[in-house]
Amino acid sequence: MIAKYISLKDDLILYMREICIQPCADCNYECMSGKCKYHGDGVYSLFEQFNIADKIFFIVPMYCGNPSALYFILNERSQGYFMQNENQWNNMVEKLYIIGVYGSAEEYPVFLRSFALQYSFADVEKHILGFERHKYKQKMDSFLLDEDDVKLKLDIFINRH
């Protein structure tokens, strides 16, 4: 629901759960010296979409203290893509914004920091926004957008005034 809230009418919303992505497995590390064995799945076309996007938002939930498994699969597969397209990495990072939804910073202090380290953002606060569900007394199945404060923070983060 956050994706729909922050998007404009003509924005493209891609859900990782709907993209056919083969995890790195059962290969001989072809991506290290050439083309990934799974080049034909949805990951490469996803990264091509990133190239033409004005902004890229990753909305990453935390499960069991870590980003979702789909995020890890995307991250793992990005290595093969960006090894062959190194010139596109900085462009993608400049356009990338991460919204992390997790329990609490007290319980999981490294959740948001892991994104900052991975992407080496020049301005971390500009690129990463975190929502601690516990501050809003919400559980995994709760609806963060019921909170006006969440909407306000999202509006500021995406520069919607």
Tokens of 8: 């404009």
Q: Which amino acid is at 139?
A: K
Q: Note whether 130 and 105 are within 8 A (CB).
A: yes
- What is the rounded average pLDDT of the residues 48-73? 91
CB-based burial label for 149 (10 Å; 0-12, 13-18, 19+): exposed
| pLDDT score for 142 | 65
Is the Cβ–Cβ distance between 58 and 97 less than 8 Å?
Answer: yes
Q: In the prediction, which pLDDT does 127 show?
A: 97
Average pLDDT over residues 31-59: 90
4 falls in which pLDDT band (50, 70, 90)? very high
**Which pTM was predicted?**
0.91
d(C-alpha 48, C-alpha 80), whole Å: 14
Give phi and psi for 39, each to the nearest 5. Answer: -50, -30
Can you say whether residue 132 is alpha, beta or left, with left for phi > 0 and alpha for psi between -120 and 50 degrees? beta
Count CB-CB contacts under 10 A for residue 99. Answer: 21
The reported pLDDT for the residue numbered 156 is 96
With a pLDDT cut of 90, the percent of the chain lying above it is 57
The per-residue pLDDT for range 37-47, each reduced to its tens digit, is 888 888 889 99
Strand partners, 61: 101
pLDDT digits (tens, 9 = 90+) for 10-28: 898 988 888 888 899 988 8
Whether residue 161 is predicted with pLDDT greater than 70 in this model: the reply is no
Residue-wise pLDDT for 74-127, tens only, equals: 999 998 899 889 999 999 999 999 999 999 999 999 999 999 999 999 899 999
- Mapped onto helix, strand or coil, the DSSP state of residue 40 is coil
- Round to whole Å and give the CA distance between 122 and 90: 11
Please write the tens of the pLDDT for every residue from 131-155. 999 898 887 666 899 999 999 999 9
d(CA 148, CA 70): 29
